[in-house]
Structure 1
């Protein structure tokens, strides 16, 4: 990365993953893996589905290999069930974490499903708190987010640290954005999507007293990641009346564009 140049976050074509070149490190980012979702659906709803644990693990390892990544960053919700993982879910997470960390370091941004996971795997996984952090060429800048540019990461279920506004790009999960597409004969389908656009600093932070949002002349780009897990549902961002999950959306992304996983640009996400 050239000093002074804004960092780019580039999606992996056809996949719910992206790569960021941090200078000394190449990071692969995914969101909402929801490992153990089949166990959760069985427990929560009585729905029986064949486990895709092996497929999820192998896909993540393949992404790491094919993108030549130096680190995997999960933007929250590595696990599906809230609380300490146990049984088949814990076994899936253990195998997934082992498979990744045998290859590269792994960072978990704590999501609303991850409190028990973050505690259970803190000895092998770098954990970022719910407020987010700034990635740098050594991985994660931890508690000190002060910096100039770079990639900030958070999950999105809580209000972010206002200092994330110093980044070039803010990457988040939690929302599981999807678009509902209709054809000329009335048929429809739902596809996972990326949302990207300039963040509105005034809507991004909880309290105007925490920072002078109006003084930010060059706001960062906000990238809302599609869910890695295709079984986890999502927010239909182009359906009128659909509520968002993140407390700062849709206000913090007033004019973002939607993109399909294959890179197709659909235009302004609320007008698709």
Structure 2
């Protein structure tokens, strides 16, 4: 069975979603077993089979993946690409039933958004670069422009990502966060001798959602750490070696 994590606030009629784990697929070795990311060294056909299993488990007609580049571009998906591959961007949105939007992660933050009033959804990949560019707010603004979404009516789910305990970043990253967020209290741990510190990227995304108008009670955040939990893929845990990827998936039934 495919291993899935779900958010209580997104369990609603007419909506399907999940954050996948590495359980329930066919990949082997470093990609064991539900790897959804096409990477060098992965067996031919394994990713396609794994994606098909996720699609079947969620009852979706299609599953769309973007070419993620750690930016803040938001793509509108009105029909699924024939090969399931959208263009370049780190967020996708739709109001078309049957289309599953999927963002790949292996330590970065997967964010799912649902506007029940206008029946619109979005999937967002927010690594630290995407967070610095406020991709969460960019997606909410794009949903407002396309579907009339009001942020105070949006439900948000932040999936598993690397926790601050295992996520040291350098001073250049901390400086960029400070420039964007201003007050970084609670998001960056004490500086070390090199000027780096521990970053709470998921916490930063949550703060950005609240600042954009999403209600605190409408945000769910996973407490699973991709680095510490062996049932999840982690880039940092791989230490430069090969690694797979899980996904945050959302679709309208």
TM-score (norm 2): 0.37
The structure whose Rg is larger is 1
- Whose relative contact order is higher, 1 or 2, with alpha carbons under 8 Å and at least 6 apart? 2
